[in-house]
Amino acid sequence: MNTPLTEPTSDQFEDVNCYHCGESAHTFLLTGQDDLTGKPGNFTYVTCDGCGLVYQTPRLKIEHIGDWYDDDYIAHRRKKNWGILTKFYQRGMDKHDREKDKLISRYITLNSDSRVLDVGSGSGSFLQRLRQQYNCSAGGIDFKDLSDLPFYEGVDFHQGLFYEAPHEDNSYDLVTMWHFLEHDYDPVQTLETAARTLKPDGRLVVEVPRLDCVTYKLFGNRWPGVQAPQHTVLYSKEMLTKFAERSGLEVVDYLPWGAFPAYFYLFAGTVFLFFRGRGLNLQKAIYPYALGQLLLSPILLFEKRLNLSMQTIICKPRS
Ligand SMILES: [Zn+2]
């Protein structure tokens, strides 16, 4: 892990047709770089001529994408933080997991009989919070083996792809995908698997960056939601809704915000504009990050109404 990557060669890429309508004709939209960690490479995002979906093509073949998820990758960052583990059980969870919990609690009441699955479960801290709060049974799935991370204690972890994993139909009360679907190589199959494995009154909660938002207009190809090459699809509200509806799901609610802080996109987009693909050093950035947050706090009070960066769709299986 953390070996310096060289620029990917053309044989590591594959062309893909539109994930929604299957059309191969498309129009160039932007070139993305790995602005978050500064790894080399230029990645092409296009708009489908058939339906308007924005997606990456060519994309890295799935056997190569794992190299782009190393220890620096933000969802797995907690791996380094063994030191805070003891405090974790006393203090409860950090703000991000609290926000996720608050969000799902608008739509479902969990208890000791509930079964929850988090797809793309990363550090596992969200699942551990749900176990602590509701005594529910929690499962996680990720394409990297994260089962030795401390937050997975008591969590049923499966390494692999969601749609290839053995899940029984009608078995989950809640399936969550926090910033997973925009990484997915087959979002329709993923959403169909969610529809099939949810109980009839179960809920699916999907949070992804929103393409038709304020920060994309501000930052363009330096928008943090591009996050090349990991992000395969950049969803607008319209396209996210279409994906859910075609996959056997009924939309219960739509939110122009999510549990992930909108401010991160304002800050990171500004940094990415200046550093242009050389990466963001989070340790050095922590003081400017805090200062910017303080200065923007009057605006951020209204972040749920401003369509700054995120979106969340809440669905149930279509009956
Ligand atoms: Zn299309």
Ligand 1 centre from 53 Cα, in Å?
5
More confident position, 282 or 144 = 144
Ligand 1 centre from 54 Cα, in Å?
8
**In whole angstroms, how far apart are CA 30 and each of 55, 70, 226, 298?**
10, 25, 9, 33
Length of the chain counted residue by residue = 319
Give pLDDT, residue 73: 52
| Helical packing angle, 187-197 and 237-246, nearest 10° | 50
Ligand 1 centre from 17 Cα, in Å?
8
Ligand 1 centre from 250 Cα, in Å?
21
Ligand 1 centre from 239 Cα, in Å?
10
Beta carbons of 39 and 57 less than 8 angstroms apart: no
CATH of 10-317, one of 2.40.50.140, 3.40.50.150, 1.10.357.10, 3.40.50.720: 3.40.50.150
Evaluate if residue 275 carries a pLDDT over 80: no
DSSP 264-313: HHHHHHHHHHHHTTS---HHHHHHHHHHHHHHTHHHHTTGGGTT-SEEEE
Ligand 1 centre from 253 Cα, in Å?
24
Ligand 1 centre from 188 Cα, in Å?
13
User: What ranges do the domains of the chain cover?
Assistant: 10-317
Give pLDDT, residue 93: 46
Compute the distance between CA of residue 216 and CA of residue 211 in angstroms, rounded to an integer: 6
Helix (H) or strand (E) segment spanning residue 189: helix 187-197
Ligand 1 centre from 237 Cα, in Å?
15
Ligand 1 centre from 15 Cα, in Å?
14
Give pLDDT, residue 282: 67
Ligand 1 centre from 34 Cα, in Å?
25
For the stretch 7-65, pLDDT in tens is 899 999 999 999 999 999 999 999 999 888 888 899 999 999 999 999 999 999 998 88
Compute the distance between CA of residue 151 and CA of residue 78 in angstroms, rounded to an integer: 9
Beta carbons of 243 and 289 less than 8 angstroms apart: no
Ligand 1 centre from 179 Cα, in Å?
22
Ligand 1 centre from 23 Cα, in Å?
5
Give pLDDT, residue 173: 98
Ligand 1 centre from 25 Cα, in Å?
9
Ligand 1 centre from 123 Cα, in Å?
33
For the ranges 14-18, 72-76, 147-151, which has the lowest average pLDDT?
Answer: 72-76
Ligand 1 centre from 150 Cα, in Å?
41
Compute the distance between CA of residue 38 and CA of residue 64 in angstroms, rounded to an integer: 17
Give pLDDT, residue 4: 59
Ligand 1 centre from 57 Cα, in Å?
12
Ligand 1 centre from 231 Cα, in Å?
17
Evaluate if residue 163 carries a pLDDT over 50: yes
Ligand 1 centre from 16 Cα, in Å?
11
Ligand 1 centre from 31 Cα, in Å?
19
What is the average per-residue pLDDT within 201-226?
Answer: 96
What is the average per-residue pLDDT within 273-292?
Answer: 76
Ligand 1 centre from 79 Cα, in Å?
38
**DSSP symbol at 5:** P
pLDDT band at 312; cut points 50, 70, 90: very high
Across 179-193, 262-276, 299-313, which has the greatest mean pLDDT? 179-193
Ligand 1 centre from 303 Cα, in Å?
31
